[in-house]
Amino acid sequence: MIHYDAFFFDFDGVLADSVEVKTRAFATLFEGYGEKVVYQVIEHHRRHGGMSRKEKFCYYYKNYLGAEITDQKLTDLCQKFSQLVVNEVIRSPEIEGAEKFLKKWYNKIPCFIISAAPDKEIKEIAGQRGLTLYFKVIVGSSDSKQNHLKNLIKKYDFNPAYCLFFGDAESDYRAAKACFVNFIGILPGPDAPLLKIDSKVKWVKHFHELKSKFE
């Protein structure tokens, strides 16, 4: 087995099959603006899974509604979004083999979650799903994925060449690449948006397919 210093994980679509939970939430919040806007929002969200909801709301208002979003409106939308998704994400099925993989490796290789969800929310979700014990640190949208990854590597003195990031979104891939960290996509299939960014990305559908790579 290749020696690794650390494993880093995105959450939605990587550990939990929860991407469509958030798709439905975005659609609900923009349904009052008509089918075209809802379609644009959904398409953008699916292509940019690792982008924070705050960034998405600002983008949607500016580009699809032609309006600036106020701080209060942004806060309200984020609260409504959280109310729509938290319980559903907690109840979402895992990506096949995820917890079995974590159980096998967390005592041997430090594991970290780097999510685009708010820090408090992703920690609550991980806790409610009984996953907290597997992770040394869980962080969310308090900073960019790239900065979180860079800071964690520095803090724990990891060698980036011996770190591995499991992700499903362009932001995961870009963060890993910028920090010289190895990357494996956890993707639903060959039509995944990430493969349109780079068709050479190494990927698997679920964690059971990783077995041969770690033994």
- pLDDT tens per residue, range 121-163: 999 999 999 999 999 999 999 999 999 999 999 999 999 999 9
List the domain range (segments joined by +) for residue 29.
19-91
Same domain, 137 and 188: yes
Same domain, 70 and 107: no
Domains in the chain: how many in total? Answer: 2
Determine the pLDDT at residue 48.
83
Determine the pLDDT at residue 71.
94
Q: Say if 183 falls within a structural domain.
A: yes
Same domain, 69 and 86: yes
In the listed set 75, 91, 107, which residue is the last one of a domain according to the structure? Answer: 91
Same domain, 149 and 103: yes
Same domain, 136 and 72: no
Same domain, 182 and 85: no
Q: Say if 165 falls within a structural domain.
A: yes
What is the rounded CA–CA span in Å between residue 169 and residue 160?
Answer: 20
Determine the pLDDT at residue 50.
76
Same domain, 109 and 206: yes
How would you classify residue 180: left for phi > 0, otherwise alpha for psi between -120 and 50, otherwise beta? left
With bands split at pLDDT 50, 70 and 90, how would you rate the model's confidence at 214?
A: low
pLDDT beyond 90 at 205: yes
Same domain, 98 and 188: yes
Determine the pLDDT at residue 49.
75
In the listed set 73, 91, 109, which residue is the last one of a domain according to the structure? Answer: 91
Determine the pLDDT at residue 19.
87
pTM: 0.90
Same domain, 75 and 118: no
**Residue 68 corresponds to which tokens in the numbers above?**
């600036």
With bands split at pLDDT 50, 70 and 90, how would you rate the model's confidence at 213?
A: low
Residue partners of 70: CB distance under 8 A and separation at least 6:
none
Same domain, 162 and 181: yes
Q: Say if 1 falls within a structural domain.
A: no
Same domain, 82 and 134: no
Determine the pLDDT at residue 106.
96
Q: Which amino acid is at 48?
A: H
